[in-house]
């Protein structure tokens, strides 16, 4: 585990809600990071590749990222931090299918291409959404929703009270007369259009088998009830990739690819007490308390390819295997699987959505129970989606 000779900690945004839409070639490359009031970008090793300089920064989509400058205007940069589209917009979306939706102060939304050229502009539109499958949802001044094509022609009249995301294949979820249904690209609406049930099965055998090799009745991934910061530093898997991101958290950013569709994008270690301080001699060097016990640790798995939308099936298989290895009975609630044992024995919880599966592990019964309580309140704390920098300068 490398100590950083700086007076601030790295901060990493690991948007699991969101990594599905900000990953190119299935490999996270440049991630927004926040320090001292500015946003920049780091790579998967936690190294800044674009120094913090923006008031806001989004993920890269189609090689362009939406950023906000010091004047409060939005524009688009490339991966060399060069503005491809000058910051002049009040709001903007990410690029999708080669187009983004932007709005200038006091104007209607317009659609632009990747050179900033206006593709189309419609009057009397309150909202305009990204194009999907060649069609974009819009809301007119009567607050009703319809769809336009890439030429700006209305192909589905605004007769819906709400839309959800847009087209996926030949259908889009829409709401009419208080009821949700589907509209096809010809404008035909049907509440019962989908009268079948799709399989939620996913063969997670390869992933589960590989990850389960980390689990024994007495240790989990090489950690046990007495593991400390020193254990992480000595780990052949995590030691060279682990850094503190705040006073009680260490994350390791080495990507572990278990299958072509499932990879671990971050491993996080949490502690009950602070684990870092500034060296008393120079007040700059970060010093770790290597004896502090690990309170809990966890993994966030990114799902791509055929694993996308199969979070439940994967979480179910993973939790079954872990429970079997630990010799404990698994429990289940909506959105999560878990098993709780007495202090000194391994407890865990698996949380999932369409594109991520998060696994938290602890040898403290209380820690897992607290985590489950946060999840029940819709306040998941594992793994952090947003992590902000704590400066140590005020602690001299």
Q: Report d(CA 33, CA 29) in Å as an integer.
A: 13
DSSP secondary structure code for residue 305 in this structure: G
Cis preceding linkage at 367, omega within 30: no
pLDDT at 354: 83
Q: Residues 92-109: pLDDT tens digits? A: 999 988 999 999 888 888
Of the candidate ranges 10-19, 64-73, 203-212, 352-361, the one whose mean pLDDT is the lowest: 10-19
Q: Report d(CA 313, CA 81) in Å as an integer.
A: 40
Collapsed DSSP state (helix, strand, coil) of residue 205:
helix
On average, the pLDDT of the chain sits at: 84
pLDDT at 386: 32
CA atoms within 13 Å, Cβ hemisphere of 4: 19
Predicted model pTM: 0.53
Residues 6+ apart with CB under 8 A from 336: 315, 349, 350, 351, 352, 372, 375
Confidence check: pLDDT of 8 > 60: no
pLDDT at 138: 92
Q: Residues 192-218: pLDDT tens digits? A: 545 556 788 899 999 999 999 999 988
Residues 6+ apart with CB under 8 A from 7: 278, 283, 284, 391, 392, 393
Confidence check: pLDDT of 378 > 70: no
pLDDT at 1: 57
Confidence check: pLDDT of 225 > 90: yes
Of the candidate ranges 19-33, 161-175, 286-300, the one whose mean pLDDT is the lowest: 19-33
pLDDT at 287: 85
For the four alpha carbons of 323, 327, 328 and 330, in that order, the dihedral sign comes to positive
pLDDT at 16: 31
Collapsed DSSP state (helix, strand, coil) of residue 265:
strand
Beta strand residue intervals within 114-228, DSSP E: 118-121, 125-132, 135-140, 145-149, 154-160, 162-163, 171-176, 179-184, 189-190
pLDDT at 246: 84
Q: Yes or no: say if 185 and 167 are a contact pair by the CB < 8 Å rule.
A: yes
pLDDT confidence band for 270 (50 / 70 / 90): very high
pLDDT at 187: 92
- Identify any residues that bridge with 256 across adjacent strands, giving them in sequence order: 264
Q: Report d(CA 64, CA 115) in Å as an integer.
A: 11
Q: Yes or no: say if 254 and 1 are a contact pair by the CB < 8 Å rule.
A: no
Residue whose entry in the numeric block shows the structure tokens 């992480």: 232
**Region class of 26: left (phi > 0), else alpha (psi between -120 and 50), else beta:** left
């Amino acid at each position: 585990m490398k100590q950083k000779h700086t007076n601030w900690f790295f901060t990493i945004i690991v948007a699991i809600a969101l990594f599905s839409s900000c990953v190119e070639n299935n490999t996270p490359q440049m991630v927004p990071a926040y320090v001292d009031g500015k946003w920049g970008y780091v790579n998967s090793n936690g190294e800044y590749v674009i120094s913090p300089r923006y008031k806001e920064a989004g993920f890269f989509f189609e090689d362009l990222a939406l950023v906000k400058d010091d004047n409060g205007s939005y524009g688009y940069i490339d991966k060399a931090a060069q503005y491809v589209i000058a910051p002049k917009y009040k709001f903007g979306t990410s690029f999708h299918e080669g187009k983004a939706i932007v709005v200038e102060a006091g104007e209607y939304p317009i659609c632009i291409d990747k050179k900033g050229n206006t593709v189309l502009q419609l009057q009397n539109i309150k909202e305009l959404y990204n194009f999907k499958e060649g069609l974009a949802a819009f809301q007119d001044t009567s607050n009703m929703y319809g769809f336009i094509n890439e030429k700006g022609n209305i192909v589905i009249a605004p007769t819906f009270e709400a839309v959800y995301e847009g087209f996926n294949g030949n259908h889009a979820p829409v709401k009419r007369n208080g009821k949700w249904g589907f509209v096809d690209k010809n404008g035909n609406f049907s509440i019962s259009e989908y009268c079948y049930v799709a399989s939620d099965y996913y063969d997670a055998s390869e992933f589960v088998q590989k990850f389960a090799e980390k689990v024994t009745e007495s240790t989990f991934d090489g950690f046990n009830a007495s593991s400390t910061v020193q254990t992480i530093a000595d780990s052949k898997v995590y030691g060279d990739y682990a850094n503190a991101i705040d006073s009680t958290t260490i994350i390791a950013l080495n990507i572990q690819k278990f299958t072509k569709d499932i990879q671990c994008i971050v491993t996080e270690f949490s502690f009950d007490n602070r684990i870092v301080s500034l060296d008393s001699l120079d007040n700059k060097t970060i010093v770790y308390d290597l004896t502090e016990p690990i309170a809990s640790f966890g993994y966030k798995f990114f799902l791509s390819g055929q694993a996308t939308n199969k979070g439940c099936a994967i979480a179910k298989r993973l939790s079954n295997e872990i429970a079997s290895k630990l010799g404990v009975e698994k429990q289940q609630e909506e959105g999560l699987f878990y098993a709780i044992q007495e202090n000194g024995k391994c407890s865990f919880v698996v949380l999932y959505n369409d594109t991520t599966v998060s696994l938290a592990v602890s040898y403290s019964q209380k820690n897992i129970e607290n985590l489950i309580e946060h999840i029940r309140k819709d306040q998941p704390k594992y793994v952090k989606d947003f992590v902000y920098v704590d400066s140590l300068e005020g602690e001299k």
